[in-house]
Amino acid sequence: MQRRNFLKAALATSAASFAATAEAQSSATNAREYYQLRKYLLRSGPQPKLADQFFSTALIPALNRLGLSPIGVFRVEFGPQTPTYYVLIPGTNLETVTNVDLLLAADNDFLKQAEPFWSAPAKEPPFERIESTLLKAFEGWPKLVAPAIKDPKAKRIFQLRTYESPSPADHVRKVEMFHHGEFKFFEKAGCGQVFYGDALVGPNLPKLTYMLSFPDMEALSAGWQRFGSDPDWKKLSSDPRYSFESIVSNVDSLILNPLPYSQI
């Protein structure tokens, strides 16, 4: 009797343990990513070449060793400040994403490869400034989706868009619009969707940022034309919940080119 009770208890414990493990694995699989989006302001001259060497030989391999992947590195093609590079660092572990520099400082291989950039003398700085924004992926788009590229040498461009809102309530409404149809409208319009993130820390809050991909500028223009003429988009955008006032106060739109070593 005691043995039978012991076996029943053991099986129950094992089942509970298995269920907890399965739930944890499922939760990890479905976990929303965090993104650290870094903006490197550079000066024309040796800085871009030094940055290329740093990103390709030191930073990306070290971030991959931390389990952060894929890493995107992009150069601003059309925007207010050039030369400027953007680095997109995705990960499901918030502590890792936010403590990247502290973790890199403990990586001897990284420090060796990064030396020319990481320890550049003050009279020859490797960059002008670095700006960083921490984002959390939208619930309806929890993971970054890298474009499927058959030919690695094929041309592609990215559009990085940031929407600032005049109030937290308006920001919430704008995020709602993506979940209530905008993902589908972009898909129908042939726009490649890479990531959507709600800014948690950074300048000019409240805001959201997302990235689209296209083969070229012609495809970008055609995609936005299809999006804007979609009757479902017109219906959503005219809904009184979203149209009673301007829920987006400023739009920042950049055209980016991926660097040859970018993983996105």
Which fold is adopted by the domain 34-258?
Alpha-Beta Plaits (3.30.70)
Q: What is the mean pLDDT of residues 159-164?
A: 98
Beta bridge partners of 207: 164
Q: What is the mean pLDDT of residues 139-157?
A: 87
**pLDDT per residue over 82-141, tens digit each?**
999 999 999 999 999 999 999 999 999 999 999 999 999 999 999 999 999 999 999 999
Annotated domain spans of the chain:
34-258
Cis omega (within 30 of 0) on the bond before 206? yes
- The band of 79, judged by pLDDT with boundaries at 50, 70 and 90, is confident
Backbone angles phi, psi at 200, to 5 degrees: -95, -40
Q: Do the Cβ atoms of 60 and 71 come closer than 8 Å?
A: yes
**pLDDT per residue over 207-261, tens digit each?**
999 999 999 999 999 999 999 999 999 999 999 999 999 999 999 999 999 999 9
Residue 154 pLDDT > 80? no
Residue 26 pLDDT > 60? no
What per-residue confidence (pLDDT) applies to 226?
A: 98
pTM score, whole prediction: 0.87
* Stated length of the chain: 264
